[in-house]
Amino acid sequence: MNYKLILSTVLKVIKIEAVLMLLPLITALIYKEDCFYSFLITMVVAFTIAHVVQKFIKPGEFYFYAKDGLITVSLTWIAVSLVGAVPFVLSGEIPSFIDAFFETVSGFTTTGASILNDVESMSKGTLMWRSFSHFIGGMGVLVFIMAITRKTTDRPIHILRAEMPGPIVSKLVPRSKDTAKILYLIYMGLTSILVVLLLFGGMDLFESLTHAFGAAGTGGFGIKNNSIAGYSPYIQWVLAIGMLVFGINFNLFYLILLKKIGVIFKSSELRTYVLIVISAVALITFNIYPLYNNFSSAIRSATFQTSSIMTTTGYATADFNAWPNLSKIILFTLMFIGGCAGSTAGGLKVSRIVIALKKIKAELKKLLYPNTVSVVKLDGEKIDEGVTSGVSTYMSIYFICFVILTVLISFNGLSFETTVSSVSACFNNIGPGFDLVGPTSNYSVYNGFSKIVLSIAMLLGRLEIYPLLLLLMPTTWKKK
Amino acid sequence: MKVIISGCGKIGTAILQSLIKEEHDIVVIDTSANVIETISNRFDVITLCGNGASYDVLVEAGAKSADLFISVTPSDEYNMLACFVAKKLGVRNTVARIRNSEYNNSGFDYIENELGISVSVNPEFLTAKKLFDVLSLPSATSVENFLASDMEMIEVVVKDDSKIENLPLYELRKKIPRKFLVCLVEREGKVHIPNGNFIIKAGDKVGLFASKTDANEILKYFGYNKKRIKSIMIVGASKIAFYLSKLLIGAKSSVKIIDIDEQKCLEFSEKLDKATIVHGNGMSQELLIEEGVLSTDALVTLTGKDEQNVLMSIFANNKNVPKTITKVNREEILKLSNELGLDTVVSPKQLVADLIVSYARALESSKNSKIETLYSLFGGMAEACEFKILSNFKTTNVPLKDLNISKRVLIAGIIRNGETIIPCGEDVFRIGDKVIVITAEEPVYDLSEIIG
């Protein structure tokens, strides 16, 4: 493995992270808050150390294979979270480092699970950093580096694959760097539109930025204790639709820009995504209507919560903890499905579900007529055997991880619903779960060990398991 | 520039590897899913699995807005068809590999025009031509002919007992009363552009810019006193061997070709009247000696297996055959050629890749100067470019000593009215001149970029 190149990439990312801290720094400056200094110290120290160490390691060789890509990505995410947690501790707003780490991981992985009891008492700078981390983590830290820096490796595809979610990563244009640029431009463009729409709804710039970041990265950190519930119906609708948009594969937006609108109707992933959302909204509206006795607020709540959970954002306008069981189970199921591949959402991804179902259908057919030969196709194109078996393997690993994480969390002794839903909410990068970790409460009920396990769960979910798993395998680190 | 490459075998991959260094946007098409997977893991390109001559595949690859389409699949007919479709779709320039000598005849211009093929490459003929150049100047490890002039770039290793060892270059110029220039020196695996105070040592590989007629005379000072090569033994009755034999027979040399396949031997003896064809295994040293390798002037190994070629050449070197040329396709072996003590090594795929890169550069060149040809020197570590100065060029008629010319390049020659000038400080650029620029570091894309 090319340790030098991996390390120097990680250091480069830390330097960029320090630069990105300018945004909360400026926010703190505008609102004249003390956390200004904690950001300033973190920036200067992190940048200097990373810069000095980088001077000492010169990556001699530029070879870079799949495993190097995976290791780089997992190390980067851990490093970024460790550095990102420092300002929280320094400013004293989250005194415990484990809590701060949990909060930062939750930010970068776009989970939005918080340990804060009173969000409204936090300084504006800190809140901005929390929300901004969603934005950075949403499209990926290394993809960002790839878009803005000169050539990092000869084979950037391995980084793109390791960081972009979904079973198949396809490039938009031949060069990875340009692909990364296009993705980020679309991402920033859509976010700006959302910011403007929110400003129209009467939010001030700070509010609209933080909420747009949260929705764009499908993160879900709010700045109010009751999340979005206090905002106007207009804002709730804008965010509900906004989140759904960020749960769509970004490649499709590029095709729209190229005026190839036809492709959108052909995408079976998008069709399935829309179908799931519509049916979930319909069922939940019907189910919760008695609670509201008002069709417009029932459908608004149902749409918002469906969109928020399905895209793994985690904003809330209603305490769905108090909803009937059917609605809760639907939301719980949506947690696992998640958004489309190539979006900022978490979960298993719709395309994996589609491929798995098609594979199941083919296998069943084979049981009925043992001599049939059938090929699994997606959008009219044959799916490689490697991809379908990759999907099955991923799903197995996914559920094994889920079970192990649940067992580990259950040591904490909280209720069944709390334990299972908190693991699901963290592993799928959603945020709020049910019962004690429902939308009106938070993760401060857990002990330090559980918080670390849940942080790992969030990273596993965001990076789609393999990179982190590879990091933990002893064979990865053997010399020969 | 947007480039589409159809067919990613040995040649296609070599072209891809060279073009990717030039930062082009490349789409690769191949029919084999395995090839496509390897390529997408190794290179930063978009890959497409399918038939490169099919309309739909070409549209998907973006042929409508592509600048260059290169079809290098094994089949000539397929390449021609692919270029035809691509051209009709709107690709501006097309390159096809066409190997069959039955197409490469007098009517070929007609085919090229009608099908819209901008350039056709025949790697085997290209290689044969290169081998022929090297054989005409056996002392050199490599010879590059500059198309526009009578000059050539000769790569030669300085011998232990040469008369010029430990001399600085300015002394050397006084000592040898001919028109020449030492452009490049390779020492310890690195290539430099030397200045006048540079001292040449034995074992250095130098790049000499000299006229064809003076070459042999100059090489004497470097310790070489070789006769013209008259008898050549070729192992492997390949297409390259065929073209090379034709060229050599045309130059009145005697040619002996050895091949293990009887059918091929019969074919060759039918087509090449004046050559001696031997049916036998060239790997057998006994056979080589029996057929007279010890008295031949040169051995050229052209079988399809790199390892066999290398072994035969090493054997011939040990038996003091004056000149050996080895055909090698795999990069790993190319890099080892020095350690293996091989004399001249040629790689057909690299020759094609160089040709295409120079073509692509010429397409891209700016308004004030135009790259005419590009030559890859010292195994790709250095380059020579031939620029044509167009009317927009700013600093014409200014003495070179007044121009702030970048230190990383060397202006080896100015070709004016068919005459080559090796420039000194007083010379000037004029519109219509062709300028030969040598560089050992970053490639030069535009002549004005080296004048700061």
**Percent of all residues in chain A with a pLDDT value above 90, rounded to a whole number:** 57
pLDDT number for residue A117: 87
Q: Which residue is listed with tokens 């320039």? A: B93
Which chain B residues are closer than 8 Å to A384 by Cβ? 33
- Classify residue B159 by burial, with Cβ atoms within 10 Å: 0-12, 13-18, 19+: middle
Inter-chain touch B44–A384, beta carbons under 8 Å: no
- Give per-residue pLDDT as tens, A346-363: 889 999 999 999 999 988
B344-346 and B369-377 beta bridge pairing: unpaired
B301 forms bridges with which residues in the sheet?
B235, B326
- Give per-residue pLDDT as tens, B280-323: 998 998 999 998 888 899 999 999 899 999 999 999 989 888 88
- pLDDT greater than 80 at residue A472: yes
Q: Which of A155, A174, A177 sits opposite B46 (nearest CB)?
A: A174
Which chain A residue has its CA at the smallest distance from B2's CA? A174
- pLDDT greater than 80 at residue B7: yes
* B contact test, residue of A146, A161, A173 with most B CBs within 10 A: A173
Q: Which of B23, B27, B44 sits opposite A156 (nearest CB)?
A: B44
Inter-chain touch A155–B43, beta carbons under 8 Å: yes
- Classify residue A280 by burial, with Cβ atoms within 10 Å: 0-12, 13-18, 19+: buried
Buried b (16+ CB within 10 A) or exposed e, A133-163: bbbbbbbbbbbbbbbeeeebbbbbbbbbbbb
Which chain A residues are closer than 8 Å to B45 by Cβ? 174-175
Distance to chain A for B18, nearest Cα, Å: 13
Inter-chain touch B33–A384, beta carbons under 8 Å: yes
Distance to chain A for B28, nearest Cα, Å: 9
Which chain B residues are closer than 8 Å to A154 by Cβ? 44
Inter-chain touch A174–B27, beta carbons under 8 Å: yes
Which chain B residues are closer than 8 Å to A175 by Cβ? 23, 25, 44-45
Distance to chain B for A444, nearest Cα, Å: 44
Q: Which of A66, A155, A174 sits opposite B25 (nearest CB)?
A: A174
What CA–CA distance (Å, rounded) separates B414 from B208? 16
Distance to chain B for A381, nearest Cα, Å: 11
Distance to chain B for A355, nearest Cα, Å: 20
Beta strands in B115-253 (DSSP E): 119-121, 142-145, 151-157, 180-187, 190-192, 205-211, 231-235
User: What mean pLDDT do residues A172-193 have?
Assistant: 90
pLDDT number for residue B31: 92
Query: Predicted confidence band at B367 (pLDDT cuts at 50, 70, 90)?
Result: low
Which chain B residue has its CA at the smallest distance from A158's CA? B41
Distance from chain centroid for Cα B396: 31
pLDDT number for residue A43: 94
- pLDDT greater than 80 at residue A209: yes
Query: Predicted confidence band at A189 (pLDDT cuts at 50, 70, 90)?
Result: very high
- Give per-residue pLDDT as tens, A215-243: 999 988 989 888 888 899 999 999 999 99
Inter-chain touch A157–B41, beta carbons under 8 Å: yes
Global pTM reads 0.82
The domains located in chain B, with CATH, are 2-121 (3.40.50.720), 137-221 (3.30.70.1450), 233-346 (3.40.50.720), 351-450 (3.30.70.1450)
Which chain B residues are closer than 8 Å to A155 by Cβ? 41-44
Q: Which of A66, A176, A384 sits opposite B44 (nearest CB)?
A: A176
pLDDT number for residue B332: 81
Inter-chain touch A157–B27, beta carbons under 8 Å: no
Segment holding B386, helix H or strand E: strand B382-389
- pLDDT greater than 90 at residue A34: no
pLDDT number for residue A278: 95
B436 forms bridges with which residues in the sheet?
B386, B413
Which chain A residues are closer than 8 Å to B68 by Cβ? none
Inter-chain touch B25–A156, beta carbons under 8 Å: no
The residues on B that touch A, with CB distances below 8 Å, are: 23, 25-27, 33, 40-46
Distance to chain A for B25, nearest Cα, Å: 5
User: What dihedral angle (degrees, nearest 10) is formed by the CA atoms of A409, A410, A414, A416?
Assistant: 110
Least confident of A72-81, A461-470, B442-451: B442-451
Which chain A residue has its CA at the smallest distance from B20's CA? A175
Inter-chain touch A155–B42, beta carbons under 8 Å: yes
Distance to chain A for B424, nearest Cα, Å: 39
Inter-chain touch B44–A173, beta carbons under 8 Å: no
Distance to chain A for B449, nearest Cα, Å: 21
ipTM for the predicted complex comes to: 0.76
Size of interface A-B (CB pairs under 8 A): 28
Inter-chain touch A174–B33, beta carbons under 8 Å: no
Inter-chain touch A175–B42, beta carbons under 8 Å: no
pLDDT number for residue A50: 93
Query: Predicted confidence band at A440 (pLDDT cuts at 50, 70, 90)?
Result: confident
Distance to chain B for A138, nearest Cα, Å: 23
Query: Predicted confidence band at A307 (pLDDT cuts at 50, 70, 90)?
Result: very high
Spatial contact of B117 and B83, defined as CB atoms under 8 Å apart:
yes
pLDDT number for residue B365: 65
Query: Predicted confidence band at B226 (pLDDT cuts at 50, 70, 90)?
Result: low
Inter-chain touch A155–B25, beta carbons under 8 Å: no
Q: Which residue is listed with tokens 């505008």? A: A30
Query: Predicted confidence band at A68 (pLDDT cuts at 50, 70, 90)?
Result: confident
Q: Mean pLDDT, chain B, as a whole number?
A: 85
User: What mean pLDDT do residues B331-352 have?
Assistant: 82
Distance to chain A for B426, nearest Cα, Å: 41
pLDDT number for residue A5: 85
- Give per-residue pLDDT as tens, B150-207: 788 888 888 777 777 777 888 887 788 788 888 888 887 788 888 878 888 887 888 8
Segment holding B374, helix H or strand E: strand B369-377
Least confident of A38-52, B128-142, B368-382: B368-382
Distance to chain B for A177, nearest Cα, Å: 9
Q: Which of B26, B33, B41 sits opposite A174 (nearest CB)?
A: B26
SS3 for chain A is: CCHHHHHHHHHHHHHHHHHHCHHHHHHHHHCCCCHHHHHHHHHHHHHHHHHHHHHHCCCCCCCCCHHHHHHHHHHHHHHHHHHHHHHHHHCCCCCCHHHHHHHHHHHHCCCCCCCCCCHHHCCHHHHHHHHHHHHHHHHCHHHHHHHHCCCCCCCCHHHHHHHCCCCCCCCCCCCHHHHHHHHHHHHHHHHHHHHHHHHHCCCCHHHHHHHHHHHHCCCCCCCCCCCCCCCCHHHHHHHHHHHHHHCCCHHHHHHHHCCCCHHHHHCHHHHHHHHHHHHHHHHHHHHHHHHHCCHHHHHHHHHHHHHHHHCCCCCCCCCHHHCCHHHHHHHHHHHHHCCCCCCCCCCCCHHHHHHHHHHHHHHHHHHHCCCCCCCCEECCEECCHHHHHHHHHHHHHHHHHHHHHHHHHHCCCCCHHHHHHHHHHHHCCCCCCCHHHCCCCCHHHCCHHHHHHHHHHHHHHHCCCHHHHHHHCHHHHCCC
User: What mean pLDDT do residues B330-341 have?
Assistant: 78
**Percent of all residues in chain B with a pLDDT value above 90, rounded to a whole number:** 24
Residue B188 backbone zone (phi > 0: left; psi -120 to 50: alpha; other: beta): left
- Sheet bearing B25-30, strands edge to edge: B46-49, B25-30, B2-6, B68-71, B93-97, B119-121
Please count the residues of chain A.
480
* A contact test, residue of B28, B34, B44 with most A CBs within 10 A: B44
Least confident of A237-241, A471-475, B47-51, B278-282: A471-475
Inter-chain touch B25–A175, beta carbons under 8 Å: yes
DSSP code of residue B405: B
Q: Mean pLDDT, chain A, as a whole number?
A: 89
- Give per-residue pLDDT as tens, B234-253: 999 998 999 999 999 988 88
Q: Which of A66, A155, A384 sits opposite B44 (nearest CB)?
A: A155
Which chain A residues are closer than 8 Å to B43 by Cβ? 155
- Give per-residue pLDDT as tens, A401-434: 999 999 999 999 999 999 999 999 999 999 888 9
CB atoms within 10 A of CB A19: 12
Query: What letter represents residue A122's amino acid?
Result: M
Least confident of A25-29, A36-40, A436-440: A436-440
The residues on A that touch B, with CB distances below 8 Å, are: 66, 154-158, 171, 173-178, 384
Query: Predicted confidence band at A212 (pLDDT cuts at 50, 70, 90)?
Result: very high
